[in-house]
Structure 1
Amino acid sequence: MSSLRAKIQDVFNEPACEQNRGKDAKARKEGCSKPLTPGAAAGGCAFDGAKIVLQPITDVAHLIHAPLACEGNSWDNRGAASSGPTLWRTSFTTDLTELDLVMGRGERKLFKAIREIKEAYGPPAIFVYPTCVTALIGDDIEAVCKRAAEKFSLPVVPVNAPGFVGSKNLGNKLAGEALLEHVIGTVEPDDAGPYDINILGEFNLSGEFWLVKPLLDRLGIRVRACIPGDARYLDIASAHRARAAMMVCSTALINLARKMDQRWDIPFFEGSFYGITDTSEALRQISRLLVNKGADPEILGRTEALIAEEEAIAWKKLAAYRPRLKGKRVLLNTGGVKSWSVVHALMEIGIEIVGTSVKKSTVEDKQRIKQILKDDNHIFEQMAARELYAMLSEHKADIMLSGGRTQFIALKAKTPWLDINQERQHPYAGYDGMVELVRQIDLAIHNPIWCQVREPAPWDCQPAVREELPRTKSETATVQAFKKFAGTMADELGEC
């Protein structure tokens, strides 16, 4: 546990984080996470965060050393996609029981599980995750992993991020520390070249990185490792030979990018593949870094030619949507890199941003939003469900872009909604991804169902009262006879 405390302290003192540098020594020790309220949902624990970062490594066996429920709570919680191996989709757990805990059989059961995975699946590596239970009883995960690696001649990586140590974001960074300590730099590639790069913090959600990689391929740029989206173990192990890196999600893996720069002189920048302008700028930045590291400067000209060609195609496709969406108002309830990259992308086609959340955004993210919107009134840290509903029901926005947890607020307010977070079904990165995002927004806003659901319900419509027509003499006689018969029956029933 002493080594874990040292890692956590190192993460809290992250010098590459602008927000962290602005704190005093005491505040820096407390970290970035807000204090957790007992009994309240914390938005994910450290174990959950570590699993999110590492599970998209597709050919690795991910073994959870814990009771069964820990694995069931975190399995497949992101829509990452694989172009090949499917081993990452198989759940492995030691399934500890109360008897195992009492009798101290946890470490023995872990070693046995590693052996069974090795014999049955033969993966290039096994990642072992302790959780709150196994960390509290003192199982020495690192010792077991080291012994198993020697016994089976197989990399067995301890990912020491039990849930109780902190938030999901802390778990992201501890996962990066595990890669630095046990994986990156352990394999020397025989094909390293001047155009090799790493992409960090890209999860390949809905396969959207596959819309960007062909652009890099056309420029002759090879992605040595995309961490973690659609990654392979050997690619990550040899990632230290890349010449440059792009950071997509700095809140998750900024420590990984900084330490790779320090150890192996791999310069990095933070960019985005959302939107036409940001995608073009990211390609330019990658090319500049490669030239600074010794690549042929002619790549700069090829990059500009590719950008001009792809932008022309994308703008031509978007021309049909511009008159249909110009002036439409969007409420963006997300965070992180999407809080500014998607804002910029939507404003490029004339969509108005009425609000964007910055709950999980860094100081740099917030500065970018202010530069784009030029108005702090459209930025909110966190908006309660009641406030979101009030804003949408008053028709202050034509559509809300958010995650699945807030979709029912929009639906209750009878407002179009589009999933922009990790559960989404469509890729939105790159030039083609931007066109797809605009197409989905257009489909959502102009869906004819909204005209129907906004109509009053049939039971809310009061029918007009029909005036009673005058009765004829025969009709009046019939009514009087029926009333007399009914009265007679009532008297007889009463006597009985």
Structure 2
Amino acid sequence: MSLLRANIQDVFNEPACETNRGKNATARKKGCSKPLTPGAAAGGCAFDGAKIVLQPITDVAHLIHAPLACEGNSWDNRGAASSGPTLWRTSFTTDLTELDVVMGQGERKLFKAIREIKEAYRPPAIFVYPTCVTALIGDDIEAVCKRAAEKFGLPVVPVNAPGFVGSKNLGNKLAGEALLEHVIGTVEPDDAGAYDINILGEFNLSGEFWLVKPLLDRLGIRVRACIPGDARYFDIACAHRARAAMMVCSTALINLARKMEQRWDIPFFEGSFYGITDTSEALRQISQLLVKKGADPEILGRTEALIAEEEAIAWKKLAAYRPRLEGKRVLLNTGGVKSWSVVHALMEIGIEIVGTSVKKSTVEDKERIKQILKDDNHMFEQMAPRELYAMLSEHKADIMLSGGRTQFIALKAKTPWLDINQERQHPYAGYDGMVELVRQIDLAIHNPIWRQVREPAPWDCQPAVREELPRTKSETATLRAVQEFAGTTAGNFGEC
């Protein structure tokens, strides 16, 4: 456990951060992130966060050393996609039982599971995840992984992120530390070039990075490693030879980007592939960083030519949607990079932002929102379901963009809703992704179902011609109760 505490403390030690360098030695070790309380796992535990970051490495076997339920609760909780290997879709667990715990068989069972995976699947590496149970009983994951790696001749990587140590975001960072300590820099590529980059914090949700990679290919820029979206173990092991990096989601892996810059002199910037302007700016900054690291300056001209061509195509496609969506009001209930990148993307076509959540956003994310919206009145840390419902039912927004957790609030308020989080079915990155996002918003807002569900229910109205019969006091009281339950007032029945 002392080793685990040291690892957690190291996550927040970010020596490459300018703000952090200005602090004294004690404050510097606390890093730039908000401190996390062990056990505060609302929204996902540390194990869940580590699995989210590492599972999209598609050719690796991910072994959960825990009771079966730990893997069942976390498996496949992201919509990441693979262009090749499918091993990551196979669930591996030691299925620890009460008897194993009592008899002290955890480490022996883990070693046996590693051997079985190696013989049956022959993966390039095995990642081992302890959870609360195996961490509390004291199984020495590090020692077992080291012994198994020596015995079987393949990397066996311990990912020390049991759930009780903190939140999902802490688990994201601990996963990055595991890559730094055991994977990145362990293989020397024989084809390193001046146009190699890393993309960090990109999960390839619904395959959306595949809309961006062709743009980089046309510029002759090779993605040495995309961590973790559609990644391969060998590519990540060689990631230290990239010339530059782009950070997509700093909330998850900023520690990885900063320490790679410190160790291997890989400069990075934080950008977004959501929206036309942000996609163009990301391509420019990638090219500029490569030129600073020795690439031919002619790539700058080719980048501008590509941007001009792609923007013209995208704006032409979006022109058809502008008259239908201009002035529509959007409530964005998400966080992280999407709290500002999607805001900017939607404002480009005239959509009004009535609010955006910043619960999972960094300080830099919040500053970007202020610059885009010109004030912070539309930012909210979190909004209770009752407040969300009130805002939507009072028609203060024409559509809500959020994750699946809050979709039923919008549906109850009879308001259009679109999934913008990891469960979504459509890719929204890059120029083509922006067109798809706008198309989906247009389909949701103008779906005729909303006009129908907002009409009075049949029991809320009566025929236009009907002789009113006298009612008893009991009948009147019952009718009033039914009307109040249905959201109407007595005597407010209209024509159907």
Distance 1:202 1:159, change over 3 A: same
> Offset of 1:21 from its aligned partner?
7.5
Asked if the contact 1:19–1:363 (Cα under 8 Å) also holds between the matched residues in 2, the reply is: no
* Distance change in 2, residues 1:470/1:50 (3 Å): closer
> Is the CA contact 2:356–2:380 (under 8 Å) kept in the aligned structure 1?
yes
How far apart are the structure 2 equivalents of 1:458 and 1:141? 64
- 1:13 & 1:418 partners in 2: Cα distance? 38
Cα 1:27/1:167, change in 2 over 3 Å: farther
Asked if the contact 2:329–2:396 (Cα under 8 Å) also holds between the matched residues in 1, the reply is: yes
Say whether residues 1:331 and 2:331 are aligned partners. Answer: yes
Question: Partners of 1:55 and 1:33 in 2: how far apart?
Answer: 24
1:391 CA displacement: 0.5
**1:265–1:19: structure 2 CA closer, same or farther, 3 Å change rule?**
closer
For residues 126 and 493 of structure 1, do their structure 2 counterparts lie closer, same or farther at Cα, with a shift above 3 Å needed? closer
Specify whether residues 327 and 152 from structure 1 end up closer, same or farther in structure 2 by C-alpha distance, changes over 3 A only: same
Question: Do the aligned residues in 2 keep the contact of 1:19 with 1:362 (CA within 8 Å)?
Answer: no
* C-alpha contact 1:288 1:300 (8 A) present in aligned 2: yes
Asked if the contact 1:33–1:167 (Cα under 8 Å) also holds between the matched residues in 2, the reply is: no
Contact residue 274 and residue 345 of structure 1 kept, 8 A: yes
* 3-state secondary structure, aligned to 2:489: helix
Contact 2:41/2:164, CA 8 A, preserved across alignment: no
Q: Return the offset for 1:477.
A: 35
- Partner of 1:59, secondary structure, is coil
CA deviation profile, 1:464-483 (whole Å, cap 9, x unmatched): 56349999999999999999
| CA deviation after TM superposition for structure 1 residue 424, in Å | 0.5
- Report if the CA contact (8 A) 1:126-1:156 is conserved: yes
Give 1:462 deviation, angstroms.
Answer: 2.9
Would the alpha carbon gap of residues 22 and 170 (structure 1) be closer, same or farther in structure 2, given more than 3 Å must change?
A: farther
Match of residue 156 from structure 1: 156
Question: What's the RMSD between the two structures over aligned residues?
Answer: 8.3
Distance 1:112 1:323, change over 3 A: same
1:453-472 matches, within 5 Å, as 453-464=453-464, 466-467=466-467
CA distance in 1, matches of 2:232, 2:65: 22
Q: Following the alignment from structure 2 to structure 1, what is the Cα–Cα distance between the partners of residues 137 and 294?
A: 52
Q: CA deviation at 1:34?
A: 7.9
Q: Any residues of structure 2 matched to 1:213-252 within 5 Å, and which?
A: 213-252=213-252
Other-structure match for 1:118: 118
1:127 maps to what in 2?
127
Q: In 1, distance between residues paired with 2:389 and 2:55?
A: 35
- Cα distance in 2 for partners of 1:488, 1:256 equals 56
Distance 1:459 1:100, change over 3 A: same
Contact 1:18-1:364 within 8 A present in 2 as well: no
In structure 2, relative to structure 1, the CA distance for the partners of 1:26 and 1:449 (3 Å cut) is farther
Q: Structure 1 length normalisation: TM-score?
A: 0.91
Q: 2:204 touches 2:230 (CA, 8 Å); kept in 1?
A: yes
- Is the partner of 1:488 in helix, strand or coil? coil
Unaligned runs of 5+ in 1: none
TM-fit CA distance, 1:5: 1.1
Q: State the TM-score, normalized to the length of structure 2.
A: 0.91
116-125 or 3-12: bigger deviation: 3-12
Question: Quick one: structure 1 residues 42 and 464, their matched pair in 2 at CA, closer, same or farther if it must change by over 3 Å?
Answer: same
Q: Give the 3 Å change call, closer, same or farther, for CA 295–475 of structure 1 in structure 2.
A: closer
Distance (Å, rounded) in 2 between the aligned partners of 1:190 and 1:52: 30
On the 8 A contact 1:50/1:172 being kept in 2, the answer is yes
Residues 121, 488 of structure 1: alpha-carbon distance in 2 compared, 3 angstrom cutoff: closer
Whole-Å separation in 1 of the counterparts to 2:295 and 2:408 = 51
8 A Cα contact 1:16 1:255, kept in partner? no
The answer on whether the counterparts of 1:17 and 1:254 sit within 8 Å (CA) in structure 2 is no
Q: Distance in 2 between matches of 1:223 and 1:487?
A: 56
Distance 1:456 1:191, change over 3 A: same
C-alpha distance after superposition, 1:122-149 (max 9, x if no partner): 0000000000100011100000000000
- CA distance in structure 2 between the aligned counterparts of 1:313 and 1:457, rounded to whole angstroms: 45
Q: Describe the SS at the equivalent of 1:490.
A: coil
Give the aligned partner of residue 139 of structure 1.
139
Alignment check: 8 A CA contact 1:401 1:419 kept: yes
- 1:198-238 deviations in whole A, cap 9, x for unaligned? 00000000000000000000000000000000000000000
Distance 1:491 1:222, change over 3 A: closer
Relative to structure 1, is the Cα distance of residues 472 and 193 closer, same or farther in structure 2, using a 3 angstrom cutoff? closer
**Larger Rg over CA atoms:** 1
Asked if the contact 2:202–2:249 (Cα under 8 Å) also holds between the matched residues in 1, the reply is: yes
Identity across the alignment (%):
94
> Counterparts of 2:317 and 2:494 in 1: how far apart (Å)?
83
The alpha-carbon distance between structure 1 residues 411 and 134, as it changes in their structure 2 partners (threshold 3 A), is same
Q: Deviations over 1:102-128 (max 9, x none)?
A: 000000000000000000000000000
- Residues 198, 244 of structure 1: 8 Å contact kept: yes
> How is 1:40-55 mapped onto 2 (pairs within 5 angstroms)?
42-55=42-55
> Secondary structure, in 3 states, of the residue corresponding to 2:486?
helix
Contact kept? 1:33, 1:166, Cα under 8 Å: no
- Call closer, same or farther: CA 1:137–1:19 in 2, change over 3 Å: farther
- Supply the distance in 2 between the matched residues of 1:300 and 1:486 (Cα, whole angstroms): 63
Q: Tell me the CA shift for residue 381 of structure 1.
A: 0.8
Q: Deviations over 1:128-171 (max 9, x none)?
A: 00001000111000000000000000100000111111111111
What is the CA deviation profile of residues 339-375 of structure 1, one whole-angstrom value per residue up to 9, with x for unaligned ones?
A: 0000000000000001111000011000000000002
CA distance in 1 between partners of 2:33 and 2:185 (Å)? 30
Contact 2:13 2:30 in 1 (8 A): no
| Unmatched tracts of structure 2, length 5 or more | none
1:354 and 1:397 in contact (8 A); partners too: yes
Q: CA deviation at 1:12?
A: 2.4
C-alpha distance 264-28 of structure 1, shift in aligned 2 (>3 A): closer
Q: Distance in 2 between matches of 1:489 and 1:384?
A: 27
Question: Any runs of at least 4 consecutive aligned residues in structure 1 with deviations exceeding 4 A, and if so which?
Answer: 15-41, 468-496
Any conservation in 2 of the 1:36–1:42 contact (CA below 8 Å)? Answer: no
Question: Are the structure 2 counterparts of residues 35 and 80 from structure 1 closer, same or farther at C-alpha, using a change threshold of 3 Å?
Answer: same
